[in-house]
Amino acid sequence: MPLYSRYRLAVVDDDPTPRKILAFLFKGQNYEVAEAENGIQALAVLGKSRPHVLISDIQMPQMNGYELLRIVRKWFPEMGVVAISGTFDLDRSHADVTADACFSKGSYTVPDLLRCVAGLAKRYPLRSPARQGKMFLVWISQDYGPVLWIACRTCLQCFPFRYAAIRTADVHIVQCPSCFAKSTVSADELPSEAARTGSGAKEN
Ligand SMILES: [Zn+2]
């Protein structure tokens, strides 16, 4: 047994400046740090590096922090999660963020963040590991109009799916273009955001 083992951390932010600063900060505290620019990249990074703690921005294109953290909690419940954002949506409370801690950009101190992350890392695993269940998770990206995205549990790759198709039938068999794993996706699995953001997701 080594005298101590290094904790692994993943930092997710589409803005490279705060991401690099956090990576530098935690490397200086002897953490192994992996970086990702968005949620889609983050899932692949999490699969490889299996960090003890994840720090994620909330406002990111394609898969935002809300969606990323929702998937992380389902698939990697053992991981500690810290959400950092300068602009928590006004219509969403922190309770909507599936995180163990939330920090607002510019209004926390570095020692507070270091203490929080160290505390989560020490408590790893925070929850029991996920049972191998549903292979795919779906979420709606609003970047270019509502687009349904699917994350593959087997290879942790994400891919877009025709949104219109999912609404016209109850259950679809979907195949991952990366690893060819198949799973079913049904209309009632759509995240609640679909109902909130797209009137098209509901019959009027
Ligand atoms: Zn796959």
Cα(176) to centroid(ligand 1), Å: 5
Tell me what pLDDT residue 1 has. 41
| pLDDT of 2 strictly over 80 | no
Cα–Cα distance for residue pair 66/48, rounded to 1 Å: 21
Sorting pLDDT into bands at 50, 70 and 90, what band is 97? confident
| pLDDT of 99 strictly over 70 | yes
- Residue with the bigger pLDDT between 143 and 62: it is 62
Cα(167) to centroid(ligand 1), Å: 23
Tell me what pLDDT residue 5 has. 66
> Across the strands, what pairs with 171?
186
> Across the strands, what pairs with 83?
56, 102
Q: At what angle do helices 65-75 and 39-49 cross, to 10 degrees?
A: 30
Degrees to nearest 5, angle at CA 15 with 10 and 20: 50
Tell me what pLDDT residue 163 has. 67
pTM recorded for the entire structure: 0.84
Cα(121) to centroid(ligand 1), Å: 29
Residue range 100-139, pLDDT digits in tens: 999 988 888 999 999 999 999 999 999 998 887 778 888 8
Nearest to 66 by CA among 42, 48, 49: 42
Cα–Cα distance for residue pair 13/11, rounded to 1 Å: 7
Mean pLDDT of the residues in the chain: 83
Cα(47) to centroid(ligand 1), Å: 12
Q: Which fold has domain 7-122?
A: Rossmann fold (3.40.50)
Q: How far is CA 121 from CA 5, 27, 62, 115, in A?
A: 11, 14, 28, 10
Residue range 9-39, pLDDT digits in tens: 999 999 999 999 999 999 999 999 999 999 9
CATH 3.40.50.2300 in the chain, residues?
Answer: 7-122
Dihedral of CA atoms 88, 95, 77, 178 in degrees, nearest 10, equals: -50
Sorting pLDDT into bands at 50, 70 and 90, what band is 151? very high
Residue range 32-58, pLDDT digits in tens: 999 999 999 999 999 999 999 999 999
Nearest to 63 by CA among 41, 48, 84: 41
- The DSSP line for 131-200 is PS--SEEEEEE-BTB-EEEEEETTT--EEEE-HHHHHHSSEEEEE-TTT--EEEEEGGGS-HHHHHH-GG
Q: Are strands 32-36 and 171-175 parallel, antiparallel or unpaired?
A: unpaired
Cα(158) to centroid(ligand 1), Å: 8
Per-chain residues with Cβ under 5 A from ion ligand 1 = 152, 154-155, 176, 178-179, 181
Q: Is 87 helix (H, G, I), strand (E, B) or coil?
A: coil
